[in-house]
Structure 1
Amino acid sequence: MRLFLALTPPPELRTRFGELADLAQARCGGRRIPDANLHLTLAFLGEVSPTRLDSLAHRVRQLKVQADSWTLDEWGCFRSPRIVWIGGARPDPALQRLHSTLWQELAALGFEGGPSRYIPHLTLLRRAERLDTPKLPAFRIDWPYCQVELVHSVTGPGGSRYTTLARSRAVKG
């Protein structure tokens, strides 16, 4: 099973992110990520044995995630895989802490491979023909979040399909 932990935007933000993806695709070309698949990956686990799923899902359901907000206000790209993304111009300490905490929890379950550097981003395009992000319009979107999801990714002829398997608990204020 191909799994990852993510923040999933609410429908109204997915729509707004989709509008930005349309702008990016018009300028840069490439394959647009469908609105339903837009998310912020916090921890990519890759292929995980189904025998480990119950303990992982249980751990995710026990997590308490402090409500916070992430400000997205910057276009970016990864040149080698030709990805166009949006993210925050300034580091977000709360998001960095959440990422670190998740990898500590995962390590306790025997998962390895946490990245040495984490760049929070929302992928909008893959295989972009041009990485011309400086000419894209300015924007600012605040994304309130309070829950992490364990997501199963299945790749098929029509692209990837995501299914949420477990959600963390939200802690308000």
Structure 2
Amino acid sequence: MRLFIALTPPPELRERLGELADVAHARCGGRRMPEESLHLTLAFLGNVEEVRAAELAAWVQDLVVTPGEWQMQRWGSFQRPGIVWIGGRGRDPALERLQGRLWSALEPCGLGTRPARFIPHVTLLRRAVTLDLEGLPSIDLAWSYNQLELIESIIDERGARYRTLAVSQG
């Protein structure tokens, strides 16, 4: 099972992010992420055996997440593989603590590897034709969060789709 731990936006924010994805898609082309797939990845775990995934789900359900708010104020891109995203203007200490707390528990168990750097973002497009973000509207969105999810990424002929396996306490 291919797993990751993420924050998922509430419905009204997910809808607004979908609108921004439409705007970005019109400008940059590529593959627009479906609204139901929009998230902020905190820990990508890769392939995990089912028994381990069940243990991980129980662990996630017992987690208590300190409520926080993330400010999304800029467009960004990753050259490879043509990702267009939105995120914050700078570091977010609360998200960094949450991500660090997760990795401090996951790494000793052999579940994935902490990335060298953490850039909180929501991917809106993949395989964009252009990464020229000039002319895209300014962004000022607040995302209040108090729980995270363990999500399975299922890849088939239709592409990737996500299934929530566990939700932390909120």
- The normalised TM-score by structure 1 is 0.95
Is 1:16 equivalent to 2:16 in the alignment?
yes
Identity score, percent: 55
Give the deviation of 1:109 after TM superposition. Answer: 2.5
Is 1:115 equivalent to 2:121 in the alignment?
no
Question: 1:51-71 CA deviation, whole Å, 9 max, x = no partner?
Answer: 211221111111110011100
Structure 2 partner of 1:75: 75
Match of 1:93, as an amino acid? P
Structure 1 partner of 2:63: 63
Unaligned runs of 5+ in 2: none
Alignment of 1:25-64 (within 5 A): 25-64=25-64
Unaligned runs of 5+ in 1: none
Secondary structure of the structure 2 residue equivalent to 1:59: helix
Is 1:158 equivalent to 2:158 in the alignment?
yes
Give the deviation of 1:84 after TM superposition. Answer: 0.3
Secondary structure of the structure 2 residue equivalent to 1:133: coil
Give the deviation of 1:134 after TM superposition. Answer: 2.8
CA distance in 2 between partners of 1:128 and 1:161 (Å): 19
Question: 1:63-105 CA deviation, whole Å, 9 max, x = no partner?
Answer: 1100111000100000121100000012110001000001011
CA distance in 2 between partners of 1:80 and 1:112 (Å): 21
- In angstroms, what is the RMSD of aligned CA positions? 1.0
Give the deviation of 1:155 after TM superposition. Answer: 1.0
CA distance in 2 between partners of 1:8 and 1:78 (Å): 21
Give the deviation of 1:18 after TM superposition. Answer: 0.3
Question: Does the Cα contact within 8 Å between 2:46 and 2:112 map onto a contact in 1?
Answer: no
Secondary structure of the structure 1 residue equivalent to 2:90: coil
Secondary structure of the structure 1 residue equivalent to 2:153: strand
Secondary structure of the structure 1 residue equivalent to 2:41: strand
Question: Does the Cα contact within 8 Å between 1:150 and 1:166 map onto a contact in 2?
Answer: yes
Question: 1:134-169 CA deviation, whole Å, 9 max, x = no partner?
Answer: 321101000000001000110122222211111111
Is 1:104 equivalent to 2:104 in the alignment?
yes
- The normalised TM-score by structure 2 is 0.97
Is 1:6 equivalent to 2:6 in the alignment?
yes
